[in-house]
Each structure stands twice: as structure tokens, then as C-alpha cells.
Structure 1
Amino acid sequence: MLSTSINPHPIIVRPRLLDTIDRVSEMCFGLFMALTFVGAVSAVTAPQDAGRTMLHTALGCNLAWGLVDAVMYLVRTLTERGRRLSLAQAVRNAKDPSVAVSSLRDALSPAWQALVDDAELESIRSRLAKAHDLPDKPALGPQDFLAAAGIFLIVVLATFPVALPFVVFREVSTALLVSRALTIVLLFAAGVALGRHAGFRGWIAGLAMTVLGIALTVAIVLLGG
């Protein structure tokens, strides 16, 4: 969606490193990755060193996927920034104002197209036409790399609540119980955060996320994940 307000650096400024959806989504991603290893543990057949082996394996997996997710975040950010820059340059260089306004309207999501009239889009077009500080090409800044590092850390840190109990507790059955309890708490907290962010009731969203997370974990394990 194209913002209807233009700041002095509309293309390159990111207000926050990661918003609520980014943080919760990455935490859940790391959580599910770690859960694929926990789901394969049997309290009956697990060897004595199963806990450390699982922690090392789960941590290695999340280190790898955290790196992939961080890099793809940078790719996605640069791509989206390039798309917006291309639109801004096309609008600024358009000889026919109506064509520029049409381009701005096409960039809006369907839900916003009905809420923004041509007069507002013309105001944006006029301001873009006078802008002289647009970059020549999209680029990544320090904030983007900090956000990517944040994604990496969130995915990696999500490993420990799930896998660490198998190192702390010698009894695999106890470790399984603690691991699953921590997982449910984290899923519930993630749902509450998303629910409040979206304007829903926190506890209902928390319960929904818990049920969804359990269902996804079962599906991942059954599919051989």
C-alpha cells in the first residue's frame, strides 16, 4: 500500500527495526523449527545423550534458517524499496498528471482505493514532482542490517525454550513436559501480542495461536519435518 503522506525521505526511512508482526512471526518460525526435533523424541527409546544432541541439532538448524531468513529479509526490503522508488520516479517524471495519478492509484491496495480520492493523490503527485532528493537507486542502510540481525537472533533464541529442557532435566519425560509447557506459553503469548496489535481480544487470539501452533507442529512432524 502506498502511504498518503510524504516525509523528506519517503523511500529510505524505516520507522522501526521490526514491527510486532515481524517479531512474532520470526519467533514462531524459530519455535516451529525447534519443535520438529522435539516431536521426534520418545521418552522410552531416547538415548542418554539425546538432550544435548537435540539441542545442538536444533540450534544448528535454527542458526542456518535464521541466517537464510535474515538474508531474505534484506532481499525483500531492497526489492520493495526499488519498487517504490520506481513508482516515485515515474510519477515525478510523468508529463501527464492524470497518468501519474492513475499510477499512484494502481499502487494502492483495493481496500484503500475506495478511501483515497483523486484530489489526495494529486497532492502526493505534486509533492513528488517537486522532490529533488530521491535516490538514484534503492539501497540498504544500517537500520536494515540491524533488523536482519534482529531476525537472526529471534529465530536462534526461539530454540532454547524448546530444546534446553532436555539438557537441564535428565528424565526425558520431564524434559518433554517442560518443553511442551514452555511452547504453549510462548504460542499463547505470541497470539496475545498479535491479537492486541490487530485490535482483537488478546486471550482469544492467544488460544487461537496455541491451537494453530499445535496443529502445525503435528502436521510438520507427520510430513517428516
Structure 2
Amino acid sequence: MSTVTPTGQDEPETREPILNTVDRVTELCFGLFMALTFVGAVKAVSVDEDVGRKLFFSALGCNLAWGLADAVMFLVRTLADRGQRLKLALTVKRERDHATAVRVLRDALPKALEPLIENAELEQIRARLAAMPTLPPRARLARGDYLGALGIFLLVVVSTFPVALPFLVLKDHATALIISRALTLAMLFGAGFALGRYTGGGAMRAGFAMTLVGVVLTMAIIALGG
């Protein structure tokens, strides 16, 4: 498939991932830390034969609730960001004074990019917007946005299982706690590795840094009675 640019030229349509690497890593880590707070409380409750099942379903219920809340807020943020961009485009398109429209575009630039972009480049953007026949009257959510929200929900929920599942399948809670923390740190390393490779900041370094965050958090939980 192809899309038509404002100049009338066909360009191949490129499909971006519904969630980028940062989205996936942050949501996964969020779910891990949420589940870890429940696992850290395993020593603070009376140990009986049913404590593992109770802990697992408590952690799962928490992440179900927070996964749903995070998914809804993702849709809210997406709609708000899209509405802001559409408002900018409509403002520039309707502005008859070219210099004013260019100033509007410049004011919308991130501070880091502002000195790198000349007014002539902004004028080209203004001209393209002015040449567009129509723009949507309002921001809308697309099918991909709902898929992204579903992905966030699943990431937060699925991250419960490596952390809490050992308590459901093992009767020895001490062993389950060790396995749970080891799996958590391994997943944090993998998340940091992926984030470091995505940002170009060094995959191994980011993996160990994220693992260190997990170690510090686990130590804090232990100090607080976990």
C-alpha cells in the first residue's frame, strides 16, 4: 500500500510498532515491581499451606487492576497528544500570515531542536500544511491505539507470573522466594539490555544498571520486612 503526500506523490506506507521498546520495557518493569512488592511481603504474613496461592492471586489481582488503569491512561495520553498535534496543524493551516504561522511552529518545537531548525524549513512545513485539502475535525483513537492499550495491559499482567508463580507451584516458600527474586533480576537485566540497545547507550551496561535497580529495590523490601 502507499500514501499520497501533500505534493501528490505516492510513498510506500510504513507500519510502526504499536508499542516501541521504551513502552514495552517500562510497562514490563512496572508490572515486575508491582508484583515484587507482594512477593516481598511473603515473610510478613503467617506461613501456612495456602499462603503461596493467596500471594499469587493477590499479586495477579493487583496487576490486573493496574494493567487496566495503565491501559486506559495510555488511551487518554494518546488522544490528548493527538489532539494537541491536530490543533497545531489546524492553527497553522488557517493562519493567513506566513510569519505568524512559522512562529507558531517554532514555539511548538522542543527546546533542544529549536536552534537546529531554520525558519525556511518551518516555512516548508507551513506550506505543506496549507496545501493539504482537509484535516480531521477532531482527534480520534484508531484500532492500533486499542491494540497498544491491550499490549500494555498484557505486559503488566504477564509480568506477574515469573515473580509470583514459584509460590504457587513450590511448597517451600524460602526456595520459591529465591527463584522469584532470581527470575525478577534476570527479567530486569533483559529489559535493561533491550533498552540500552534501543537507545544506543550500551546494552550490557543498561542491563546491569537495571539489575542494580532491582537489587536495591529488593534490599529495600527486605529491610522493610519483606
Does TM, normalized by the shorter one, top 0.5? yes
1:49/1:70 CA distance change after superposition, 3 Å: same
Give the alignment of 1:133-212 within 5 angstroms: 133-212=134-213
* Paired amino acid for 1:186: M
Aligned counterpart, 1:99: 100
Does residue 1:72 correspond to 2:73, yes or no?
Answer: yes
Aligned counterpart, 1:114: 115
- Give 3-state SS (helix, strand or coil) of 2:31's partner: helix
Q: Contact 2:37/2:221 (CA < 8 Å) preserved in 1?
A: yes
Deviations 1:18-54 (A, max 9, x none): 0000000000000010000011112995222111101
Report the alpha carbon displacement of residue 95 of structure 1 after superposing the two structures with TM: 1.4
What are structure 2's unaligned runs of at least 5 residues? Answer: 7-13
Deviations 1:172-215 (A, max 9, x none): 01100100100010000011011011102111111101112333
Report the alpha carbon displacement of residue 217 of structure 1 after superposing the two structures with TM: 4.8
State how far apart, in whole Å, the 2-side matches of 1:185 and 1:102 are: 49
Report the alpha carbon displacement of residue 216 of structure 1 after superposing the two structures with TM: 3.7
Aligned counterpart, 1:23: 24
Does residue 1:39 correspond to 2:40, yes or no?
Answer: yes
Equivalent residue pairs, number: 216
CA RMSD of aligned residues (A): 2.3
Q: Tell which deviates more after alignment, 210-219 or 199-208.
A: 210-219
Deviations 1:149-175 (A, max 9, x none): 000000000000000001111100110
Q: Contact 2:59/2:160 (CA < 8 Å) preserved in 1?
A: yes
State how far apart, in whole Å, the 2-side matches of 1:42 and 1:189 are: 27
State how far apart, in whole Å, the 1-side matches of 2:102 and 2:225 are: 51
Task: Point out 4+ residue stretches in structure 1 off by more than 4 angstroms.
Answer: 217-225
Q: Contact 1:91/1:103 (CA < 8 Å) preserved in 2?
A: yes
Q: Contact 2:21/2:198 (CA < 8 Å) preserved in 1?
A: yes
State how far apart, in whole Å, the 1-side matches of 2:218 and 2:119 are: 48
Q: Contact 1:74/1:148 (CA < 8 Å) preserved in 2?
A: yes
Q: Contact 1:162/1:183 (CA < 8 Å) preserved in 2?
A: yes
What are structure 1's unaligned runs of at least 5 residues? Answer: 1-5
* Paired amino acid for 1:174: T
Identity, in percent, stands at: 57
Aligned counterpart, 2:11: none
State how far apart, in whole Å, the 2-side matches of 1:103 and 1:223 are: 51
